[in-house]
């Protein structure tokens, strides 16, 4: 039997017991005087106790020992490329593009040590903002579990499969799948090859499915395609390091047992994964280019209706059929900040220079759009039905916030492509006042 078993649904109230301990979930109440099998009951709250019912997120865990049994936290002395305090960084409005970030093949670096912040907003201390990281790792996490006190991680593997053991059970996440590990949930990442991927971290709120409006009840990412693991536990007395990211800094605490000792759980605050190939693409079948919000997989809303803290948007394989239309993305300036990555293949607006494992950043109101080659090709193309972006997957983290880039992103990683601006240089003046 596979190690990986899931329950389907988004925002559902799940219940799960490890099969080795039937009836381990208390019936009819959360906190009996004595729990089945002598387990401890522990609540994990993902929203304020008093959050409105439709937003309220919490789970009850039934575990061998409560999470509180650990030595005091100390500052983490290991390697890390995390930088979520961006106050001292200068703003930079330029179009930016990075060549694929290098995986440190000659070093032994695990998922947590391999986290590098590319850009983020300033205000981690006020639960306001986002950070965008990449992970570049070569080994599995051994006897170590990580949790993020600051917000949720939306993880986008680009190279290598992630085998993630969480307090709620096990997830296997391949490139072209994504997962969300909400704030506070402990997990450990196993890899089977040198691995790379992108992470969107949000501090304000949790991810939701976008409203569908006139699209109706079905489409885009459908709730039943989200997968949450079934309960799984280990019972051992091995020493574990628990690493916490708290206010942007890493801390570590030792404990004398595995944190993956949850025998049963129930609730709606859970980790989940989603296969991007399940996305039902909706687009124009007449003319013109729709805004990329039609490709939103998940959104982290702000208090301002329709303006996200951050959206996760994909550019999946699809048919392009629009008539008398410049089909690629339009030239534009946006009041939102756009960070893009490429999981596989090519991105239609820029077939050269933007490669899998690389990235681009177009900040608020910074102009961008198709490069010279794309413009020339699209303005002379015969507009027959065409597959766009076959075997490809680009994505965008779009945020209403201002981002600053880290020193690692601009200098240390040596991947910033200083020639990026030249991809638009060849665009010709085609203006002819005598043609109409
Ligand atoms: O800039 C980009 O490439 C992303 C993008 C794609 C698109 O189809 C329309 C607008 C937009 O910002
Ligand atoms: Fe854009």
CB atoms within 10 A of CB 202: 30
pLDDT tens track for 330-351: 999 999 999 999 999 988 877 7
Interatomic CA distance for residues 30 and 39, integer angstroms: 12
Instruction: Report whether residue 338 contacts ligand 1, using a CB cutoff of 6 Å.
Output: yes
Strand partners, 264: 17, 62
Structural domain range at position 89? 70-261+268-276
Q: Are residues 252 and 127 in the same domain?
A: yes
Q: Does ligand 1 come within 6 angstroms of the Cβ of 329? A: yes
Rounded distance from Cα 369 to ligand 2 centre (Å): 6
Report the domain count for the chain: 2
Co-location of 254 and 398 in the same domain: no
Q: What string of DSSP letters covers 352-375?
A: SS--TT-EEEE-TT--B---HHHH
In this structure, are 255 and 307 located in the same domain? no
**Residue 1's pLDDT is what?**
57
Q: pLDDT tens string for the chain (436 positions)?
A: 578 999 999 999 999 999 999 999 999 999 999 999 999 999 999 999 999 999 999 999 999 999 999 999 999 999 999 987 788 899 999 999 999 999 999 999 999 999 999 999 977 888 889 999 999 999 999 999 999 999 999 999 999 999 999 999 999 999 999 999 999 999 999 999 999 999 999 999 999 999 999 999 999 999 999 999 999 999 999 999 999 999 999 999 999 999 999 999 999 999 999 999 999 999 999 999 999 999 999 999 999 999 999 999 999 999 999 999 999 999 999 999 999 999 999 888 777 889 999 999 999 999 999 999 999 999 999 999 999 988 899 999 999 999 999 999 999 999 999 999 999 999 999 999 998 7
**What is the residue with the minimal CA distance to atom 8 of ligand 1?**
329
Strand-by-strand arrangement of the 130-137 sheet? 6-8, 226-229, 272-275, 177-181, 152-159, 195-202, 130-137, 115-120, 404-405
Task: Please check whether residues 201 and 340 belong to one and the same domain.
Answer: no
- Token pair 């988004």 in the structure block, residue: 10
What is the whole-number distance in angstroms between the Cα of residue 67 and the centre of ligand 2?
Answer: 43
Position 242 scores a pLDDT of 98
**Considering the domain boundaries, does residue 393 fall inside one?**
yes
Q: Are 105 and 236 contained in the same domain?
A: yes
* Per-residue pLDDT tens digits for 352-363: 889 999 999 999
Q: How far is the CA of 357 from the centre of ligand 2 (A)?
A: 19
Give me ligand 1 centre to Cα 364, in Å: 13
35 within a domain of the structure (yes/no): no
The answer to whether residues 253 and 293 belong to one domain is: no
Do residues 230 and 316 both lie within one domain? Answer: no
The atom number, within ligand 1, closest to the CA of 350 reads: 3
Rounded Cα gap, residues 339 and 92, in angstroms: 14
Last residue of one domain, picked from the residues 243, 276, 309: 276
Say how far apart CA 134 and CA 198 lie, in whole Å: 4
Alpha carbons 182 and 44: distance in angstroms, whole number: 11
Ligand nearest to the CA of 330: 1
Same domain, 110 and 221: yes
The enclosing domain of 300 has a CATH number of 2.60.120.10
The answer to whether the pTM exceeds 0.90 is: yes
Domain identity same for 216 and 250: yes
* ipTM attached to this prediction: 0.98
Q: pLDDT tens across 69-117, in order?
A: 999 999 999 999 998 778 889 999 999 999 999 999 999 999 999 999 9
Residue 429 lies in a domain: no
pLDDT, averaged across the chain: 96
- 436 contacts: CB under 8 Å, gap ≥ 6: none
**Ligand 1 close to Cβ of residue 194 (< 6 A):** no
Residue 34 lies in a domain: no
Q: Are residues 285 and 242 in the same domain?
A: no
| 257 marked among binding-site residues | no
The count of residues in the chain is 436
In a shared domain, residues 400 and 353: yes
Please report the beta strands in 169-260, taking only residues with DSSP state E, as ranges in sequence order. 169-173, 177-181, 187-191, 195-202, 226-229, 240-246, 249-255
Based on the residue annotation, tell me whether 289 is a catalytic residue of this protein: yes
Instruction: Please identify, among 209, 242, 276, the residue that sits at the C-terminal boundary of a domain.
Output: 276
Give yes or no: residues 250 and 306 share one domain: no
Q: Is 370 in the pocket of ligand 1 (CB under 6 A)?
A: no
CB of 283 shorter than 6 A to ligand 1:
no
């Amino acid at each position: 039997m596979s190690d990986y078993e899931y329950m389907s649904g988004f925002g559902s109230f799940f219940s799960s017991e490890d099969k080795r301990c039937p009836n381990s979930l208390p019936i009819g109440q959360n906190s009996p005087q004595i729990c089945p099998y002598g387990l401890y009951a522990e609540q994990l709250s993902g929203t304020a106790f008093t959050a409105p019912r439709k937003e309220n997120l919490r789970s009850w865990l039934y575990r061998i020992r409560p999470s509180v049994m650990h030595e005091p936290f100390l500052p983490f002395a290991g390697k890390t490329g995390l930088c979520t305090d961006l106050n001292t960084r200068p703003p930079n409005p330029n179009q930016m593009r990075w060549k694929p970030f290098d995986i440190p093949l000659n070093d032994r670096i695990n998922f947590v040590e391999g986290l590098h912040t590319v850009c983020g907003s300033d205000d981690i201390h006020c639960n306001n903002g986002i950070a965008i990281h990449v992970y570049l790792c070569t080994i599995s996490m051994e006897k170590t579990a990580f949790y993020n006190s600051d917000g949720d991680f939306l993880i986008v593997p680009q190279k290598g499969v992630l085998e993630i053991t969480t307090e709620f059970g096990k997830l296997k996440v391949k490139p072209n799948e994504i997962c969300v590990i909400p704030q506070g949930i402990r997990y450990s990442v196993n890899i089977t090859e040198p691995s790379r991927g992108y992470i969107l971290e949000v501090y304000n709120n949790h991810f939701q499915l976008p409203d569908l409006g006139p699209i109706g009840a079905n489409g885009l990412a459908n709730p039943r395609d989200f997968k949450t693991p079934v309960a799984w536990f280990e019972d051992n007395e091995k020493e574990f390091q628990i690493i916490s990211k708290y206010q942007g800094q890493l801390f570590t605490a030792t404990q004398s047992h595995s944190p993956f000792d949850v025998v049963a759980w129930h609730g709606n605050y859970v980790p989940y994964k989603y296969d991007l190939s399940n996305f039902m693409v909706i687009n124009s079948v007449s003319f013109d280019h729709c805004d990329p919000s039609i490709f939103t997989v998940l959104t982290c809303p702000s208090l301002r209706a329709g303006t996200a803290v951050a959206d996760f948007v994909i550019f999946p394989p699809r048919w392009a059929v629009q008539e008398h239309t410049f089909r690629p993305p339009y030239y534009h300036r946006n009041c939102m900040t756009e960070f893009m990555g490429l999981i596989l293949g090519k991105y239609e607006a820029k077939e050269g220079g933007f490669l899998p494992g690389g990235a681009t950043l177009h900040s608020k109101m910074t102009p961008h759009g198709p490069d010279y080659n794309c413009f020339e090709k699209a303005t002379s193309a015969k507009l027959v039905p065409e597959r766009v972006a076959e075997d490809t997957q680009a994505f965008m983290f779009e945020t209403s916030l201002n981002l600053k880039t880290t020193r690692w992103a601009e200098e240390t990683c040596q991947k910033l492509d200083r020639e990026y601006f030249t991809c638009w240089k060849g665009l010709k003046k085609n203006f002819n006042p005598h043609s109409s």
